[in-house]
Structure 1
Amino acid sequence: MSYRVTLEDIARAANVSKATVSKALNDTGQLAAHTRRLILKTAEDLGYRKPVSIAALQRKTGLIGLVSADLEGRFALPALIGAENTLGTTNHAVLLTNSRGEPKLERAHIDQMAARGIDGLLVLGGETDARPPIKPNTALGVPIVYAYAPSTDPNDCSVTCDNVSAGAMAIDHLLSHGRRCIVIISGPEHYQATKDRLAGARQAIEQAGIRLAAPVRYGSWREAWGRTATRLLLENDVHVDGIYCLNDMLARGAIETLYDWGLRVPEDVEVIGHDNWAVTATECRVPITSFDNNLQEIGRRAARHLLDAIKGNPHHGTTYIGCSLVTRKSTSA
């Protein structure tokens, strides 16, 4: 059995009274700001968990906790909208916090929400890399569903996008337009999104009986790498008529470089991106054909799974939501 940190432990470590600790943790009474900060920091360092009564745990509050690791909100906001659209019809409200990708902060947010009596918890990642599951004692027994970033525990309920199918669809789209000299420009190799999109693309390439015109070019997710990778291909006299870029920033960089070299998009070279981020995919010289991750649907499905779990019908394993190809002028009609 693990040891539970008590108020006495915190008082001893902070060299204050138990009553002072209680005031700081419950935000009551008059305390100097530095004393309150000291006690809260000591409690966090010791791993203190605020106790919740059995009655509070059993009582349905209509509150759903959502903790996001997405710093920019680019992925979290659409998923949150989808989740709220579903939860709102069932009279549930969402408590939103951002962990900034820091495990300690995530744990603190979850403990605070659980102490308020949430009925369930949505954990939203900023990428599709699998993440460690929430420790059972941390979430105080409420149902948990992982969205976008799946849990590494196959018994947990996770909802994410199907990047493998998207990769295959990208190549098939280029092939359907007669493109055979295809190259792929990627972000960092270690991301799960990179691995999955490439796995799907390679399957489609193999099924078509052709080879990539050049090895996959790995780099950053930034537009500058899209420019550099495309320039290197052209400088090496690689004949290219189709480029699959694993995000829209890369695609925008590739398009700009192709024009710098006197090549037209899509007449000479077709370009496909991924993520369908409007500010990138539409606000450029040639609007980019791109894959939408259907984040709102991921949020909706995760919320429905969570509501099922709250009702005593939990889901297990990972649900994959297909990506949608949004065609624009960077590929032929």
Structure 2
Amino acid sequence: MTEVFAPTSAGRTATLRDVARLAGVSTATASKAINGRPDVKAATRERVLEAARQLAFSPNAVARSLSAGRTGTVGLLTSDLEGRFSLPVLMGAEDALGVHETSVFLCDARGDAIREQHHIRALLSRQVDGLIVVGARPDSRPSLGQHLPVPVVYAYSPSEDPQDLSLVVDNEAGGRLAVDHLITSGRTRIAHITGDPGYGASHDRVRGARERLAEAGLGLAGDQVWFGSWTEGWGRGATRMLLERNPGVDAIFAGSDQIARGVLDVLHEKGLRVPEDVAVIGFDNWEAMAGESRPALTTVDMQLEVLGRRAAEHLSAAIAGRSRKGTVELPCRLVQRSSTAPVL
């Protein structure tokens, strides 16, 4: 007669005792078999493992890792889960952690400091091995402090504390890269329309752009930076004012792809050809915006998924005892499309 074991009641997770009962062994023997101890007969081990498969039994990860002092879990804390910039960072971090079979707890503080502290307490109560903090904008943010029992890595938004480890985009080099591309394409009358002057990244990009222009013996058209907002509307308005004051510009470096779309609208409106009359380059490489522009927009990619992966790698190193501090700047890359071309 075949004995049938009723697995577990609905909604209850199988335990080691359930596995031992189904396999017909003691709980101690079942534990040894599952953990690969050598003092268990092969037939017994196979019986225990088969019972575990039948019951979909998964050993408690926290309990199994206590001897190593780790749980194989990491907390990802963001303040803008729906953000266009934070999402790629989160995706990159999760991809890198997944390679090492590290589980991720994702929390969204929605820009609320009290909610953030609540999430931190909750994550620490789950005994996470470390935290990655992803900001919504590239400006510095308050540190979580040096008192936390686990390592912390800040991504995209750097910590104000130099004792922390922060990974950020090298926006100055990004501005330099954009203008270098325009100069090497033969452009000499280059204007810059960008967004909110309250963003440190805006000024970093301006600094990189001006430095590259100076090296070529050039300056910004009209010796002016057009600060405004990160919108197509501002791109349109600024371009109209720019063309009134400096009708001879032959290139425009836009501080975002959205601004660049507005720039393109007005150039078309004025009958100026892109890139033959005026070359246009954006910043962000937002595929939905840059790829669908007419013509398709050359832009600077901040490589945010790479940033997320590097943050996860640094966190893994810190968990293993190889921690570091300071700010690490990661390079941007140029994505060339049809809105720029060499002057013939």
Structure-to-structure mapping, 1:93-112, within 5 angstroms: 93-112=103-122
How many angstroms does 1:100 deviate by?
1.3
Letter in 1 for 2:243: L
Give the letter aligned to residue 190 of structure 1. G
1:66 equivalent to 2:76? Answer yes
Is 1:213 aligned to 2:221, yes or no?
Answer: yes
Q: Deviations over 1:45-75 (max 9, x none)?
A: xxxxxxxxxx98x841111000112253312
Report the Cα distance in structure 2 between the residues aligned to 1:300 and 1:206, rounded to whole angstroms: 35
Q: Which amino acid aligns with 2:95?
A: N
**Any conservation in 2 of the 1:130–1:149 contact (CA below 8 Å)?**
yes
Name 1:141's counterpart in structure 2. Answer: 149
User: Unaligned regions of 5+ residues in structure 2, if any?
Assistant: 1-64
- What is the distance in 1 between the residues matched to 2:118 and 2:78? 13
- Note the aligned Cα RMSD (angstroms): 1.7
Q: Deviations over 1:158-186 (max 9, x none)?
A: 11111111111111111111111110001
Aligned mates of 2:325, 2:157 — CA distance in 1: 15
Which residue in the other structure is 1:164 paired with? 172
**1:78 partnered with 2:88:** yes
1:192-251 alpha-carbon deviations (Å, 9 max, x no partner): 110111110011111111111121111000000000000011122432101000100000
**TM superposition shift of 1:284:** 2.0
Distance in 1, Cα, partners of 2:134 & 2:285: 19
Distance 1:155 1:228 in 2: 43
TM-score by length of 1: 0.80
Structure 1's unaligned 5+ residue stretches are 1-54
Work out the CA distance in 2 between the residues paired with 1:191 and 1:166.
15
Tell me the distance in 1 between the aligned counterparts of 2:82 and 2:217.
41
Residue aligned with 1:255, SS: helix
TM-score (norm 2): 0.78
**1:134 Cα deviation (Å)?**
0.4
Identity of aligned residues (%): 47
| Counterparts in 2 of 1:85 and 1:237: CA distance versus 1, 3 Å | closer
SS in 1 for 2:284: coil
Residue 148 of structure 1: CA displacement?
0.6
Secondary structure (helix, strand or coil) at the match of 2:328 reads: strand
Q: Give distance in 2, aligned partners of 1:125 and 1:184.
A: 26
State the distance in 2 between where 1:231 and 1:142 align. Answer: 52
| Distance in 1 (alpha carbons) for counterparts of 2:220 and 2:160 | 32
Tell me how far apart the structure 1 counterparts of residues 210 and 150 of structure 2 sit (CA, whole Å).
41
**Counterpart residue identity of residue 100, structure 2:** T
- The aligned counterpart of 1:181 is 189
Which of 230, 235, 238 is the matching residue for 1:229? 238
Range moving further from structure 2, 120-129 or 71-80: 71-80
Distance in structure 2 (CA, Å) of the matches to 1:87 and 1:80: 11
> Structure 2: which amino acid aligns with 1:301?
R
Give how far 1:104 is off.
Answer: 1.2
